[in-house]
Structure 1
């Protein structure tokens, strides 16, 4: 019979300090880059109340990956546009704190210095194919980091709530609509 031991990886103080310093340096670099580029300070894109131009490419890539199978391929562009409007409407009515957190998540997806290492999308979102986006979503969904799993959940909730709030989506899932009194 083989002996089973509960081996835990040993992290020395020196190793812990190195990880902490590298993580802190990475986050500081990302924060400085965001503030210098004006990523967070940008105003809303044309036709939107909250969503910024820097937010749109990532959302335009993520929405089709999330709605795949729920929307006919020929209707996907209209579904993406409707979902973007729904996300914008929802974000326009959330608390300032929640809006700030959501914009930080979208900033991470927009900035190349964070997008590549965290998502695996090294080029622009416009050049990412659906498999790359699906792999990114799966990687975040099953990540060992709580922060990435929360980011995945937030992205999914934004997209799905905005899409399924629209009457166009109801037929796919067999929902007849709200009762008429």
Structure 2
């Protein structure tokens, strides 16, 4: 049976984040758990259901709020994506989101749990406003606003925010630059054709 190149790509993306998940996610989880616990009280006090939403259709891990967040993050992280014509930008973002979803789903249970805490925090309007400075929905956030948020977290004295920013940027970068369609923009000519054919024969 021939190896599935998509599985190879997904595994490579997951490997690229392996060291990060071991070092950074403990900081993310410990720092955000208390905030999320407070936020979780709001639906119950208001008499609303706090059931976890299902993943976005066609995704294994990312929920609709996560997809909206990464749609805003990707053009802020990848310059050439922000400069691409709208139809091409939409197509590349769609494929990058699938890579991000596959990378998250391929991680261990502990790393997935910490990712979920980070994503849930950024899906909460009050916490997103307080910690990221973005009050509006992700769908209307501008690349400049998102870049300012990431820069603020990376420059923060709080290790938790530093780790959160690194995780988001790594996921977005790996998700995008794993796409063959993105290689030309970063000067990568692609794998040697003969070697690629031999590996996938």
TM-score by length of structure 2 reads 0.71
Distance 1:26 1:150, change over 3 A: closer
Name whichever structure is richer in helix by fraction: 2
Q: Greater CA radius of gyration, 1 or 2?
A: 1
Q: Identify the residue that residue 50 of structure 1 maps to in structure 2.
A: 61
For residues 158-169 of structure 1, the aligned pairs below 5 Å read 158-169=171-182
Q: Identify the residue that residue 13 of structure 1 maps to in structure 2.
A: none
Distance 1:98 1:82, change over 3 A: same
Give deviations 1:40-81, integer Å, cap 9, x for gaps.
Answer: x22211111111112121111111111123564212222211
Question: How many angstroms apart in 1 are the aligned matches of 2:70 and 2:41?
Answer: 23
Q: Identify the residue that residue 65 of structure 1 maps to in structure 2.
A: 76
Distance 1:79 1:101, change over 3 A: same
TM-score by length of structure 1 reads 0.78
The structure with higher relative contact order (CA 8 Å, sep 6+) is 2
Q: Does 1:125 align with 2:134?
A: no
Would the aligned equivalents of 2:33 and 2:117 in 1 still touch at CA under 8 Å? no
Greater Cα shift, 129-138 or 147-156: 129-138
Alignment size in residue pairs: 158
Question: How many angstroms apart in 1 are the aligned matches of 2:34 and 2:191?
Answer: 51
Question: How many angstroms apart in 2 are the aligned matches of 1:24 and 1:157?
Answer: 22
- Which residues of structure 2 form unaligned runs of 5+? 1-31, 196-201
Distance 1:97 1:133, change over 3 A: same
Q: What do you get for the CA RMSD once the two structures are aligned? A: 2.3
How far did residue 123 of structure 1 move? 1.5
- Which residues of structure 1 form unaligned runs of 5+? 1-22
For residues 83-162 of structure 1, the aligned pairs below 5 Å read 83-162=96-175
Question: How many angstroms apart in 2 are the aligned matches of 1:130 and 1:166?
Answer: 21
Would the aligned equivalents of 1:71 and 1:79 in 2 still touch at CA under 8 Å? no
Greater Cα shift, 69-78 or 130-139: 69-78
